[in-house]
């Protein structure tokens, strides 16, 4: 079980395991939120929905901080501790912002990664039969020509996404544009990968959704020894067919992580990642395989295997590894890999260790 902080219009705090200590900004008393305490507030263990102060947690909504940014869901604390063993997960249309009046310590897990099919907070959805990919660097869909079906493009973020696999003159979907600023001004989530061309199937292989946007700003210090993940989701695989299989979906890009404090420390055990998802494999006589989600290491997410020879999805972007193009088989292509997102760390004193992927932009907190 895990805790969930929802960043959409019906925002709630779910506490089920571990501890999350939160002292409300502006108050003298520090609240220690335990499972039993929150269960007494509501039978389902949730922070009641809505803005204002509830269950010891302040929450407000704000518009995007600039053109192209995501609307913001802002949680306000005096001190914040996510204990080892606790998990906090954000979802919703709004980028998640934690404003801490003094010290923040993250020893557990903060999950702002994309799911299937849900993007991370403030991120763009992958392309599907419902609609095109979303986000500032949305991947383009695959193309159909006769029985040739190319893969969807990977979502773009800190770099361009990987193109979908093409087949002869049938081009793959273009990878999404590089669109995230290095210092994350404005704050925005990752982008979805394009859907694969459907072949003769009723629905196409969907692109992976983009990772979310998370900002932690502490006026005292910020120490991370746990995990923060804003990875993109892998693209779906195309179904198999003996006559007209389809192309794989592009991987979703990684999202955005902005860490700010006068003193920022990431310890040797810290994991701060916004890796892109792998592209889905194109179909053949059998179905392809889905792309892996952006993981919690510096290794790129693997693309899915092709249902026919060489119709593999491209790897996702990570530290030192750009997203790869999907490959084309005889009649179908794999989806392109999603680009890595952007990590920015701002502070006057920076002590950076642990696993950071992609490379973090470092700057003074006053810039």
Q: Where are the domains of the chain?
A: 3-111, 118-212+234-252+274-367
pLDDT digits (tens, 9 = 90+) for 191-231: 999 999 999 988 999 999 999 999 999 999 999 999 999 99
State the pLDDT at residue 22: 46
pTM for the model stands at 0.90
- On whether the CB atoms of residues 289 and 311 are closer than 8 A, the answer is no
pLDDT digits (tens, 9 = 90+) for 250-262: 999 999 999 999 9
Q: Has residue 357 got a pLDDT over 80?
A: yes
Q: What share of the chain has pLDDT > 70, as a percent?
A: 86
Lowest average pLDDT, out of 74-78, 122-126, 221-225, goes to 74-78
328-345 mean pLDDT = 96
pLDDT digits (tens, 9 = 90+) for 87-97: 999 989 999 99
Q: Please, what is the average pLDDT of the chain?
A: 88
CA of residue 163 relative to chain centroid, distance: 19
Higher pLDDT, 103 or 19: 103
State the pLDDT at residue 54: 76
Q: Has residue 57 got a pLDDT over 80?
A: no
Q: Has residue 34 got a pLDDT over 80?
A: no
Q: Has residue 31 got a pLDDT over 70?
A: no
**Dist. CA 241–CA 213, nearest whole Å:** 38
Lowest average pLDDT, out of 15-19, 176-180, 261-265, 283-287, goes to 15-19
The confidence band for 4, taking pLDDT boundaries of 50, 70 and 90, is low
State the pLDDT at residue 80: 94
Other Cβ atoms closer than 10 A to 280: 45
The gap between the terminal CA atoms of the chain, to the nearest Å, is: 39
Question: Is the preceding omega at residue 332 within 30 degrees of 0, hence cis?
Answer: no
Q: Has residue 2 got a pLDDT over 60?
A: no
State the pLDDT at residue 11: 36
293-299 mean pLDDT = 98
28 Cβ partners below 8 Å, 6+ apart?
none
**Dist. CA 335–CA 168, nearest whole Å:** 16
**Dist. CA 130–CA 127, nearest whole Å:** 8
State the pLDDT at residue 365: 82
State the pLDDT at residue 53: 83
State the pLDDT at residue 189: 98
pLDDT digits (tens, 9 = 90+) for 59-72: 999 999 888 999 99
């Amino acid at each position: 079980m895990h805790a969930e902080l929802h960043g959409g219009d019906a925002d709630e705090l779910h506490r089920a395991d571990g501890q999350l200590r939160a002292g409300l900004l502006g108050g003298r008393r520090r609240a220690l939120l335990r499972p039993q305490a929150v269960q007494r507030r509501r039978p389902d263990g949730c922070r009641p929905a809505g803005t204002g102060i509830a269950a010891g947690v302040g929450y407000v909504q704000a518009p995007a901080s600039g053109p192209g940014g995501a609307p913001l869901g802002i949680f306000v604390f005096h001190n914040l501790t996510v204990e080892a063993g606790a998990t906090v997960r954000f979802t919703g249309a709004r980028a998640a912002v934690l404003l801490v009046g003094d010290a923040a310590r993250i020893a557990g897990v903060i999950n702002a990664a994309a799911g299937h099919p849900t993007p991370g907070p403030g991120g763009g959805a992958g392309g599907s039969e419902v609609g095109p990919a979303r986000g500032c660097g949305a991947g383009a869909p695959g193309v159909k020509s006769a029985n040739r079906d190319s893969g969807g493009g990977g979502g773009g973020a800190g770099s361009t996404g990987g193109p979908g696999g093409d087949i002869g003159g049938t081009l793959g979907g273009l990878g999404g544009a590089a669109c995230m600023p290095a210092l994350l001004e404005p704050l925005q989530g990752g982008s979805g990968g394009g859907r694969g061309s459907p072949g003769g199937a009723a629905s196409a292989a969907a692109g992976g959704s983009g990772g979310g946007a998370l900002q932690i700003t502490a006026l005292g210090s910020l120490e991370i020894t746990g995990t923060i993940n804003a990875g993109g989701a892998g693209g779906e695989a195309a179904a198999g067919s003996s006559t007209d299989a389809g192309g794989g979906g592009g991987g979703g890009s990684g999202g955005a992580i902005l860490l700010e404090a006068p003193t920022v420390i990431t310890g040797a055990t810290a994991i701060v990642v916004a890796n892109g998802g792998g592209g889905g494999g194109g179909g053949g006589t059998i179905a392809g395989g889905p792309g892996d989600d952006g993981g919690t290491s510096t290794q790129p997410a693997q693309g899915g295997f092709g249902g026919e020879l060489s119709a593999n999805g491209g790897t996702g972007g990570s530290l030192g590894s750009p997203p790869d193009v999907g490959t084309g088989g005889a009649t179908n292509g794999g989806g392109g890999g999603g680009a890595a997102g952007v990590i920015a760390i701002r502070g006057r004193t920076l002590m950076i260790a642990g696993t950071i992927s992609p490379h973090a932009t470092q700057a003074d907190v006053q810039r």
